[in-house]
């Protein structure tokens, strides 16, 4: 086993701990609010475990943040102290990988930009569910760039092809599924108000 620590795992650990402490919650309170075990939360906060997309969805819902917001706050940008203007090179962007599904996510915009844009790569056969609470307090659009995405919006299922978009309405349980034989690439565009 490697002793190399992924900096993004450390940043997610710090962000989860910060959000919990900001609310003055104990591990037990966050576990109750999220449905994630205290042991798992403790391992995440210590940087010993990279959370899956499902676990991130549950934690973000408990914090009343979108998954995109939680990850964007963890990732930050090299120019956080500046005005946010400038070029972000592809090679400089942190990419988060879901250890359970291989789902990969790269934040496109920095924390000072008024909308969050993330690029998602969903492997063939991957299925990523999120609870309704992960979509509370945000307006979101999913834009399929390459491949096909089967999107479960509550009880409604949408078959989306490259170029298709869907604007998400009221929060409901949602599932992102790639039942094709090739990777699906899509963008998530999330309008945010004040920074959490």
Most confident range, picked from 32-36, 72-76, 93-97, 104-108? 32-36
Full-model pTM: 0.75
Contact 59, 16 (CB under 8 A): yes
What single-letter DSSP state applies at residue 24?
Answer: T
Angle between helices 53-63 and 27-34 (to 10 degrees): 110
Cα distance between residue 33 and residue 54, in whole Å: 15
pLDDT (0 to 100) of residue 73: 64
pLDDT (0 to 100) of residue 81: 42
More confident residue, 79 or 185: 185
The token duo for 175 is 């599932």
Q: Which residues contact 193 (CB under 8 A, 6 or more apart)?
A: none
Contact 6, 50 (CB under 8 A): yes
pLDDT band at 138 (very low <50, low <70, confident <90, very high): confident
The token duo for 15 is 């962000």
More confident residue, 68 or 82: 68
Average pLDDT over residues 136-144: 87
Q: pLDDT of 49-64, one tens digit each?
A: 888 888 988 898 898 8
pLDDT score of 40 more than 60: yes
Which residue in 162, 166, 165 sits closest to 145, CA to CA? 162
Report all structural domains of the chain as residue ranges with CATH numbers, in order of start. 7-75 (1.10.260.40), 90-191 (2.60.120.10)
Contact 144, 161 (CB under 8 A): yes
Dihedral-angle region of residue 190 (phi above 0 means left; psi in -120 to 50 means alpha; beta otherwise): beta
């Amino acid at each position: 086993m490697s002793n190399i620590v992924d900096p993004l795992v450390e940043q997610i650990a710090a962000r989860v701990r910060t959000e919990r402490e900001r609310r003055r919650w104990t591990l037990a309170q966050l576990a109750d609010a999220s449905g994630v075990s205290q042991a798992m939360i403790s391992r995440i906060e210590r940087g010993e475990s990279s959370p899956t997309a499902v676990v991130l969805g549950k934690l973000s819902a408990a914090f009343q943040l979108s998954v995109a917001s939680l990850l964007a706050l963890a990732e930050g940008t090299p120019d956080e102290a500046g005005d946010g203007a400038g070029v972000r090179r592809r090679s400089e962007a942190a990419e988060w990988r879901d250890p359970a599904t291989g789902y990969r996510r790269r934040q496109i915009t920095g924390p000072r930009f008024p909308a969050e844009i993330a690029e998602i790569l969903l492997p063939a056969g991957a299925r990523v569910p999120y609870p309704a609470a992960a979509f509370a307090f945000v307006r979101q659009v999913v834009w399929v760039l390459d491949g096909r995405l089967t999107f479960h919006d509550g009880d409604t299922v949408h078959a989306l092809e490259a170029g298709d978009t869907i604007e998400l309405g009221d929060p409901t349980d949602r599932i992102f599924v790639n039942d094709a034989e090739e990777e699906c690439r899509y963008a998530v565009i999330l309008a945010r108000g004040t920074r959490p």
